[in-house]
Amino acid sequence: MNSVDSLQYFIPELIVVGTALVTIIYDLLPDSKDNNSIAYIALGGIALTLIAIFATGAPTESLFDGMIRIDGFSIYFKVIALVATAVTIVFSIQSRELDPNTKGEYYSILIAVNLGMFMMASSTNLLMAYLSLETVSISSYILAGFLTHNQRSSEASFKYIIYGAVASGTMLFGLSLMFGLTGTASISEIGAKLAGLIEDPDSRLAVMVAVVFVLTGLGYKIAAVPFHMWSPDVYEGAPIPVTAFLSVASKAAGFALFIRIFYLGFGQIANLSTTNWTLLLSIISALTMTFGNLAALPQENVKRLLAYSSIAHSGYLLMGAVLLNDTGIKAILFYLTIYLFMNLGAFFVVILVANQVGSEMISGYRNLVSRAPLLAISMAIFLFSLVGLPPLAGFAGKWILFTAALQKHLYWLVVVAALNSAVSLYYYVRIVKAMFFETAEDQTPLTFSFGNRLLLLAFVIPTVLLFILWEPSYEVINAVIKDFTPADVGKLAATVSQQP
Amino acid sequence: MLLTWMIFIPLIGMILVLLIPRGQDNTARWITFAVTLIPLLIAVSLFINYDRGTAGIQQEFSVPWIESFGINYHVGLDGLSVTLILLTALLGPICIGASWKIEKGVKAYMALFLLLETGMIGFFCALDLFLFYVFFELTLLPMYFLIGIWGGPRREYAAIKFFLYTLFGSVLMLVAMIAVYLKSGDPGVRTFDIPELVKLAKTSGHALADPAFQKWAFLGFFIGFAVKVPIFPFHTWLPDAHVEAPTAISVILAAVLLKMGTYGLIRINVDMFPAGINYWSNGLAILAVINIIYGSFCALWQTDFKKLVAYSSIGHMGFVILGIAALNKPGITGAILQMFNHGVISGMLFLLVGVVYDRAHHRDIKGFGGLGAKMPIYMGITTLAFMASLGLPGLSGFVGEALSLLGAYYGSFDHSRLLTILSTIGIVIGAAYFLLTLQRVFLGPLNPKYEDIEEISPREIATLIPLGILTIILGVWPHFAIDMFDQNVDAIVKAVDATSKAVGILP
């Protein structure tokens, strides 16, 4: 579909762009920074975008001459991105770290990241993939360093920039190799052509190098070992809302792009004996989850602990990636949704506690059960769900990932993942222990607004309910990826080549 | 539906208790007590109305739950579970009675206990592997908090040790479980249904009946259950957890939670993996004997009353495992009977330890002396419990142990006679430490520190009487319980025999 006709499907993105612009312009007005009206405008824009997405229905079209594609998969990730962004905006309103004078820039850059994530979830062209990745990355660099007078924040941003630049540079190199080998930048066409190329021993090495380089860039985005080294420092130095956002939304978008490129692009060559992507991906998965868990064990800073734990969760998510087919995608989508709620919920508690107790350390959570029972119990629910204990949603997510990996007979990987889950109990339960078992000198009860309690419950309820309502949620995901399978590749290639 | 009510009434009770306004502790206690009586009534009626003539599942109830994975909410009763359900339900009100003196956070304690009861009853009723696992894990959370908040000086250490250890075992079980599911058939007909899987595992030619698969799947499940039982060398969490837990929680831990492990061993490892159990029965028997001898010797050295009882539990569970490893009718009958009996007896023992701890605030055996003079009723009940535990004929402990040993003597594992004779050492040691404890605590000159020690109170006697009566009844009339699972044992033994001959393991 050409550019003009595609615009009708592009309305949500246009609204997002509009929101960003309005936010910046509104920021120029005097007195705009006295209250949170900028944030509310941003939230309003997000709400409008959500309405537009649902109004568009669920078409399956290739837009802008094959640059992006609107389908159930991209819509699902767009909704995840919007929810995460909306929640981050709410967190940012609460946050006491951010400088009020820079509100306008903050919210507009946040919206820009949102737009980038939309594009990441939809891209079907190498160029668009790279562009969207960079949009998200560069905006994230700025957001990470937003606490300008805080040394850790600036250091975080700096490390992020350098690491990200190298990673995306490598990825660009891989993408250009891909283009050179196949003569096309369209991911689905590449998929069709790679099958023939890999047979040819002369080009096999080039293909493998290209794939590994692309994997570097994607691995960096999802913080997979060995491309993870930026994440602990960035997660610790960035303001808490940004950390929450990066650990959930940015990761989700990274996985969306990963799935698009690897399933559509490299899926054809995945199962050949010459290229054992399964082994490569499963080793990366095992290393990531093990590293994340082991590194989180000694942590005393809750934010840093959650950061390392989110690396471990990337590892679990990659277990869905090793399967390189339908079941794996469904597992990833399901787990990402559950992860959204439990991780954002945990970060919300971190923000609330940091605001009132003034501490991000585990010792600041002592005796939280008598100072703020709702908060303590909610945090316990989030943490136990992150471990993967039934009857919470985290267990359902882990279950589906384990099943996906076992179907490929990767017994060793599942055993590693299971042991890792058990190990992770130790560091999550340290927070629970502090909240419930230990006493603190300061016994003043903490107070929260009604809105905060409501938002907290909005995270807790899905964490509990998604286990009981497992079947309906799984059906939704089934419907979402109905038209996504690699079998579609041939169809896509045909439709693309028929463009005027 | 009756089973579903029995499982979820404690959960509803938990919500009720949480809604009680702050400060009304007595209301919380009475409401919890009343709520725990309901599953007891249901369990008693199920016990009485149980059809003893069949090995099939009774009170069955099944609704589809997560169809994409072949998971149903499938509950039912059979010989294996009916006695354990009665035990669990009986211990509910008894433990609440024993927890009456708890002052701190009464509401939370009662709520957590009710959640625990849901998990335990649900576990024994579950006939779907997934449901089985969920209930198995569900018991971990309340136990962690119950031990960690209301326990003794080293409670946090004991609680996290218990939690981590059991979780390690159960995640390995999870892997084995999913593997079994994937092997159960082609996509679309796969299932988690336990009776269905048991049938498939005995159908020759089916992937589940493959001895090579069964060997490894057996191990996966075994580790999960071995931590619970506990079987040496996975037992080190038990002494800590028992010692640090509050009295009522020790009771429920020893009486019910340990049985979850052995119940799982019979229901899954023996029933579902007959080739697997035949392959591993040698190892299992050796571990059982180690449990018996090592556990008993460790108990002999103890000076902490509660730790002594904890180690004696390890020893007694060894008899259960020995009976299971025997894979014949007396062996398995003895094992199941011993499960129930040990639950009753160890429940009594921990309650009795709690009595003296409440008064003296320590459990050092050497720190007492001549208490019999001041607490004759307490001494009488304790003597009963000790005699039952060491296997005095006429009381229930003897029957289970005797049957297990009889089965083990003719057992299917190597060196069955030698191992059985070695196990009898455990009985002798058991007599040694219990009689020694009796002498040191109750007999001899009265320790002047305890001139004014109070006799056992009516409330405490009330918690002990039901268990005492059961001990005596089952000692003289064991068929009261054996009749319930006789048919099931026959079915299990026949299946194990048949399959082993089919795969050529037994001569």
- Least Cα distance to B139 among B6, B19, B249 occurs for B249
SS3 label, residue A61: strand
pLDDT recorded at residue B500: 53
What does the block give as tokens for B309? 């009882």
Residues of B in CB contact (< 8 Å) with A are 65-69, 133-134, 137-138, 140-141, 144-145, 148-149, 155-156, 160, 163-164, 167-168, 171-172, 174-175, 178-179, 181-182
pLDDT recorded at residue A204: 77
* ipTM score for this prediction: 0.85
Mean pLDDT of chain B: 88
**Each residue's pLDDT tens digit, B484-507:** 888 888 888 887 776 555 444 443
Is A406 in Cβ contact with B178 (below 8 Å)? yes
Q: What is the pTM of this model?
A: 0.88
**Each residue's pLDDT tens digit, B142-159:** 999 999 989 888 888 999
- Looking at the complex, does the CB of residue A54 fall below 8 Å from at least one CB of chain B? no
Q: At what angle are helices A302-321 and A411-436 packed, to 10 degrees? A: 160
Which residues are within 8 A (CB) of A275 and not within 5 positions of it... i.e. 6 or more apart? A198, A207, A208, A211, A269
Comparing A475-484, B17-26, B299-308, which segment has the lowest mean pLDDT? A475-484
Is A419 in Cβ contact with B181 (below 8 Å)? no
Q: How many degrees, rounded to 5, is the angle at CA A331 between CA A54 and CA B180?
A: 145
Is A403 in Cβ contact with B182 (below 8 Å)? yes
SS3 content of chain A, % helix, strand, coil (to 5): 80, 0, 20
Are the C-beta atoms of residues B486 and B478 closer than 8 Å to each other?
A: no
Dist CA A164 CA A142 (whole Å): 12
Total residues found in chain A within this entry:
500
**In angstroms, what separates the C-alpha of B243 from chain A's closest C-alpha?**
18
Is A426 in Cβ contact with B160 (below 8 Å)? yes
User: Which 8-state DSSP code applies to residue A141?
Assistant: H
Give the model's confidence band at B80: pLDDT under 50 very low, under 70 low, under 90 confident, else very high.
Answer: confident
By CA distance, what is B157's nearest residue in A?
A433
Dihedral of the alpha carbons of A91, A94, A97, A100, in degrees to the nearest 10: 110
Dist CA A321 CA A332 (whole Å): 7
pLDDT recorded at residue A6: 75
Cα–Cα distances in angstroms (integers) from residue B4 to residues B1, B8, B10, B90, in the given order: 5, 6, 11, 17
Among the ranges A348-357, A451-460, B130-139, B176-185, which has the highest mean pLDDT value?
B130-139
Are the C-beta atoms of residues A392 and A359 closer than 8 Å to each other?
A: no
Dist CA A227 CA A291 (whole Å): 12
Report whether pLDDT(B257) > 90: yes
- Looking at the complex, does the CB of residue A485 fall below 8 Å from at least one CB of chain B? no
What does the block give as tokens for A479? 């419907």
Are the C-beta atoms of residues A319 and A413 closer than 8 Å to each other?
A: yes
- Least Cα distance to B7 among B134, B130, B120 occurs for B120
Report whether pLDDT(B62) > 60: yes
Best probe of the B interface among A319, A368, A387, A399, by most B CBs < 10 A, is A399
pLDDT, average across residues B74-99: 91
Is A391 in Cβ contact with B134 (below 8 Å)? yes
pLDDT recorded at residue A493: 38
Is A407 in Cβ contact with B174 (below 8 Å)? no
Dist CA B228 CA B321 (whole Å): 12
Chain A CB contacts of B160 under 8 Å are 426, 429, 433
Total residues found in chain B within this entry:
507
Best probe of the B interface among A381, A414, A421, by most B CBs < 10 A, is A414
- Looking at the complex, does the CB of residue A403 fall below 8 Å from at least one CB of chain B? yes
Chain B CB contacts of A418 under 8 Å are 171-172, 174-175
Residue of A387, A433, A470 with shortest CB distance to B156: A433
Chain B CB contacts of A470 under 8 Å are 65-66
Is A425 in Cβ contact with B133 (below 8 Å)? no
SS3 label, residue B71: strand
- Looking at the complex, does the CB of residue A469 fall below 8 Å from at least one CB of chain B? no
Chain A CB contacts of B141 under 8 Å are 384, 389
Dist CA B365 CA B439 (whole Å): 10
pLDDT recorded at residue B133: 92
Best probe of the B interface among A293, A389, A401, by most B CBs < 10 A, is A389
Dist CA A75 CA A441 (whole Å): 49
**Each residue's pLDDT tens digit, B33-51:** 999 999 999 999 988 888 8
pLDDT recorded at residue B114: 94
Q: At what angle are helices B140-150 and B155-183 packed, to 10 degrees? A: 180
Is A402 in Cβ contact with B175 (below 8 Å)? yes
Which residues are paired to B73 by β-bridges? B63
pLDDT, average across residues B61-80: 85
Is A422 in Cβ contact with B168 (below 8 Å)? yes
Is A418 in Cβ contact with B149 (below 8 Å)? no
**In angstroms, what separates the C-alpha of A234 from chain B's closest C-alpha?**
31
What does the block give as tokens for B51? 């059809």
**In angstroms, what separates the C-alpha of A437 from chain B's closest C-alpha?**
6
**In angstroms, what separates the C-alpha of A403 from chain B's closest C-alpha?**
6
Is B145 in Cβ contact with A470 (below 8 Å)? no
Which residues are within 8 A (CB) of B435 and not within 5 positions of it... i.e. 6 or more apart? B386, B390
**In angstroms, what separates the C-alpha of B18 from chain A's closest C-alpha?**
12
Chain B CB contacts of A384 under 8 Å are 141
- Looking at the complex, does the CB of residue A422 fall below 8 Å from at least one CB of chain B? yes
Enumerate helices (H) and strands (E) in chain A, giving the number of each: 23, 2
Chain A CB contacts of B167 under 8 Å are 387, 389, 421-422, 425
Is B156 in Cβ contact with A437 (below 8 Å)? yes
pLDDT, average across residues B423-443: 90
- Number of CB pairs, chain A paired with chain B, less than 8 A apart: 75
Ramachandran angles phi, psi of B411, nearest 5°: -70, 170
Dist CA B201 CA A195 (whole Å): 41
What does the block give as tokens for B49? 């109305």
- Least Cα distance to B330 among B478, B225, B229, B193 occurs for B478
Query: A32 burial class (0-12, 13-18, 19+ CB within 10 angstroms)?
Result: middle
Is B175 in Cβ contact with A415 (below 8 Å)? yes
Each residue's pLDDT, cut to its tens digit, for chain A (500 residues) gives: 677 777 888 888 999 999 999 988 888 887 766 777 888 888 999 999 999 988 887 778 788 877 888 888 888 999 999 999 999 998 888 887 777 778 888 999 999 999 999 999 989 889 999 999 999 999 999 999 888 888 888 999 999 999 999 999 999 999 999 898 888 888 888 877 877 776 777 777 888 888 889 989 999 999 888 888 888 889 888 888 999 999 899 999 999 999 888 877 776 665 555 567 778 888 999 999 999 999 999 988 898 899 899 999 999 998 888 876 778 888 899 999 999 999 999 999 998 888 888 888 888 888 888 888 888 899 999 999 999 888 899 998 898 888 888 887 888 999 999 999 999 999 999 999 888 888 777 777 777 788 888 888 899 998 888 888 888 888 888 888 776 654 444 444 333 333 33
Chain A CB contacts of B174 under 8 Å are 399, 402, 418
Dist CA A55 CA A44 (whole Å): 16
Is A425 in Cβ contact with B149 (below 8 Å)? no
Is A415 in Cβ contact with B69 (below 8 Å)? no
Is B175 in Cβ contact with A406 (below 8 Å)? yes
Dist CA A498 CA A457 (whole Å): 50
Residue of A419, A429, A474 with shortest CB distance to B171: A419
- Looking at the complex, does the CB of residue A429 fall below 8 Å from at least one CB of chain B? yes
pLDDT recorded at residue A487: 47
- Looking at the complex, does the CB of residue A426 fall below 8 Å from at least one CB of chain B? yes
Q: How far apart are the first and last CA of chain A?
A: 8
Q: Which residue type is seen at B37?
A: L
Count CB-CB contacts under 10 A for residue A226: 12
Is A471 in Cβ contact with B138 (below 8 Å)? no
Residue with tokens 């824009």: A45
Chain B CB contacts of A475 under 8 Å are 68
SS3 label, residue B63: strand
